[in-house]
Amino acid sequence: MVEPNDAVAAAQRAIGYQFRDDGLLTTALTHSSVANTRLCSNERLEFLGDAILGTVVCDELFRRNTEWLEGELTKVKSVLVSRRVCAEISDELGLTELLILGNGVDNRGNLPTSLRAAVLESVVGAIYLDGGFEPARGFICRVIEPHLIRCSEQENHDNYKSALQQYVQRWRASTPKYEALDEQGPDHSKCFEVCVVIDGQRFPSAWGPNKKDAEQEAARRALEQLLEADALSSGGKRSAQ
């Protein structure tokens, strides 16, 4: 079983937020199987965090996708707040490994999706109680970002230019530019080479049968490289402040 003090210290590093009252984080990591009573487990924090997570995701989707109708917003929101995605994020952050569990369920290789998802929601609730809405919002936006982009791409029918612009404007306060590098072939069947440039940095170029398709593929490659680079930097953690 994970020692509570060790779990709290590791969890604070994983989520990028320093608690003033680390007892809240201890509770967020404590499953009912090991708690003295269910009131001492993470179940109440899970309830609170679920509501905050849904609010932040709805707000982000509403602001980013100004041309989406209610049905499109609802569809993507339901995916982003699903147990599957929340469980994946818990695994990515290492929160699943830090759960404080009773001996009867302490099998890290086979934890239910619902249990893994609950710890993320509980941590959101704990951050909210400790620091307020903005730190909780910052944490949610950071960890949900790759999933939000992928879901939005699918709903936008692979509109990588739009997804890249949203990502760059949000996290780098910049705007991607597209540079035509080359064109080949006869007039009736030309191919075009395009690359993305962000703050002077060139990303891998792409060819297409027209400039629009070449730009979409170049945007996809740039977005993929950015997501990989940001995931590697500092363990994929931006400040949750």
Active site residues: 50, 121
Cβ atoms within 10 Å of 203's Cβ, excluding its own:
19
Cβ atoms within 10 Å of 175's Cβ, excluding its own:
11
Three-state secondary-structure class, residue 177: strand
Q: Of the candidates 121, 149, 126, 115, which has an alpha carbon nearest to the alpha carbon of residue 230?
A: 149
Three-state secondary-structure class, residue 122: helix
- C-beta separation of 96 from 116 below 8 A: yes
231, amino acid identity: A
Cβ atoms within 10 Å of 4's Cβ, excluding its own:
18
